[in-house]
Structure 1
Amino acid sequence: MVGAVREGVKSDIGSTLRELRQASGKEAKVVARSAAMSQSKLSRIETGKLAPTALDVDRILTALGVSAEIRAKLTDLARREATEATAWRLYRRSGLHHHQDAIRSMEHDTRLQRVFQISCVPGLCQTPEYIRGLLRQRELTEEAISRMVSARARRQEVLYDTEKSFRYLITESVLRWRLLPPLAMAVQLDRLITLSRLPNVRVGILPLAADMTEAPTSSFVVYDSRMVIVEIPHAEITTSEPRDVELYLEKFQRFEELAVSGSAMRELAADIRDSFLRGRENS
């Protein structure tokens, strides 16, 4: 099968994935369910009617349980052939909650997740009110918002899996922006403080007063050391190119060295929370 992959990866990743699935003896519906996608989507990928993203490929390979050697070859193919940028409007069209399920599958198979956020509180740390507030800014229907809130709540269960580790870096400005009414922002900051006490969760705040060596330009998530998802205004960019992943790992480390964490982080977050509460009382 390795030989078949070596020949097959030349131009058609879909047929290669199909051959691997057939060789595994797994039914398409079983693989699709494990990969958090519809059976029809898997079929379109396998027949070459739909170009898979790097995230699609990673989820399918995880569902198939392929060897490290085969995974490396197909990952290399995904870097060269996969559609790396997916516009947010396409996720909205198919249902943002479906994309949450796909990310949940990725998180299930990740041992260490690193998140750097410059625009909002990381998804796994958001309260329902915070999620709703952000989504209303996108002018989504109430039904779409409710589905998204439920899907993200399911994702958040992974935080309590102590075999996994989560490292969050958030700029101080994210915590100070009044994206919601003061009370809702205070509740959100309380949740962040509470989560920072979990043994497998590390929350760092990048202070506004930090002596920055570079400007934060985008939010990103690193899954172990194999894949990065970068958020830009119109799209989500996925890469598993080793040099790109290393670039973001190094950037995360540099920012983490400037961040406050532990009791200092909780003290800073509590001060910001209290300022929201004072603002509510004075309004």
Structure 2
Amino acid sequence: MSNQAQEAREALGARLRAFRKDAGFTSGRAFAVATGWAESKVSRLENGRQNASENDIRTWCTTTDRHEHIDDLIATVRHIDELWLEWRRQLQTGAERRQRKALPVYAKTKVFRIWHPTLVWGTLQTAEYAAQTFRQVVDYYEIPDDAEAATAQRLQRQQYLYQGNRIFNVVLGEQALYTNLAGPQVMKGQLDRLLAVMRLPRLSLGIIPRSAPAAIWPGNSFSMFDNKLVLVETYSAELSVTQPREIELYTKAFALLQQSAVYGSAVRDLILTAIQHFDHMPDD
């Protein structure tokens, strides 16, 4: 969880603890008896180690006679939830809807900063490469199979590479050139695509060689949209970062990653070496 989300959860827990003590419950055990909860749940909520549900808030405020705070604390809980969106909830109707939601964000953004240590960024993907990523998403999250429609939505992002005055700063780990999603032919097509787009005037493509000195640990992939939003993807959730202090940390991280990256002809050489690697790999 992000610092912002965790801090908000801890602040909520501190308020709940104050409500408990003000109501005369001198221990978590006494409050647990009054609510019928496990004592460990009371401790986790007060210390910010568990997300409170809306029903938890209602029970807590009712038990401590703080009814007037219910609406305010429920709004706080909803805000914390929005900071950390479970992929299953976002993808419950399939992957296409999530891809479609991204288009307005891309349309409004002027400066993109993209980091991915292991995969090619979605907007630079070929149709075949993108389709395979979505087939894996469908299988992994056990969601409705709309890989074809999701791929079409993702490919629509490519229009922004050629429109307006947008700037795309993309840094990939060298591993992104070798992560074999769909066999050597698809991978060679994807690598050829990188060779083509790296010549675009609005795109700065850097690659961090696997042996490059690291100014910062690789961390999770993230996408920065101007200085307004950062999306961080994990296996279980997508974290939306909007707090300026946290966005500054990602800005700093991206600059440090760029220090380890190579550009221009060095990128071309790395891609050509990866193509040779797949040339020597038998087709499935």
Aligned to 2:261: 259
Q: Is the 8 A contact 1:114 1:222 kept in 2?
A: yes
Alignment of 1:151-230 (within 5 A): 151-230=153-232
Cα distance in 1 between the residues matched to 2:167 and 2:123: 13
Deviations 1:47-94, CA, capped at 9 Å, x for gaps:
xxxxxxxxxxxxxxxxxxxxxxxxxxxxxx9x9667111111112213
Shift of 1:186: 0.7
The number of aligned residues is 207
Q: Using structure 2 for the length normalisation, give the TM-score.
A: 0.68
Please state if 1:113 is matched with 2:109.
no
Q: Which secondary structure state, in structure 2, belongs to the residue aligned with residue 230 of structure 1?
A: strand
Shift of 1:214: 2.6
More divergent stretch after superposition (249-258 vs 211-220): 211-220
Please state if 1:102 is matched with 2:101.
yes
Cα distance in 1 between the residues matched to 2:116 and 2:164: 23
- Between structure 1 and structure 2, the one with the greater Rg is 2
Cα distance in 2 between the residues matched to 1:181 and 1:142: 24
Cα distance in 1 between the residues matched to 2:245 and 2:271: 34
Paired amino acid for 1:148: A
Deviations 1:86-119, CA, capped at 9 Å, x for gaps:
1111122133211112111101000001100023
Q: Which runs of 4+ in 1 moved over 4 A?
A: 79-82, 140-143
Paired amino acid for 2:125: Q
Specify which of 226, 248, 251 is matched with residue 250 of structure 2. Answer: 248
Q: Using structure 1 for the length normalisation, give the TM-score.
A: 0.68
Shift of 1:129: 0.8
Shift of 1:280: 3.4
Q: Which secondary structure state, in structure 2, belongs to the residue aligned with residue 179 of structure 1?
A: coil
Change (3 A) 1:245 1:181: same
Paired amino acid for 1:125: L
Cα distance in 2 between the residues matched to 1:95 and 1:182: 28
Aligned to 1:126: 125
Specify which of 223, 230, 233 is matched with residue 231 of structure 1. Answer: 233
Paired amino acid for 2:226: D
Deviations 1:213-249, CA, capped at 9 Å, x for gaps:
3321100011111111111110000011111101001
Cα distance in 1 between the residues matched to 2:80 and 2:243: 12
Q: Which secondary structure state, in structure 2, belongs to the residue aligned with residue 280 of structure 1?
A: coil
Question: What 5-or-longer segments of structure 1 have no aligned partner?
Answer: 1-76
Task: Report % sequence identity.
Answer: 30
Shift of 1:162: 4.3
Q: Is the 8 A contact 1:162 1:200 kept in 2?
A: no
Cα distance in 1 between the residues matched to 2:135 and 2:171: 25
Aligned to 2:282: 280
Paired amino acid for 1:180: A
Deviations 1:110-156, CA, capped at 9 Å, x for gaps:
00011000231101011111112122223167850111011111122
Deviations 1:7-49, CA, capped at 9 Å, x for gaps:
xxxxxxxxxxxxxxxxxxxxxxxxxxxxxxxxxxxxxxxxxxx
More divergent stretch after superposition (197-206 vs 272-281): 272-281
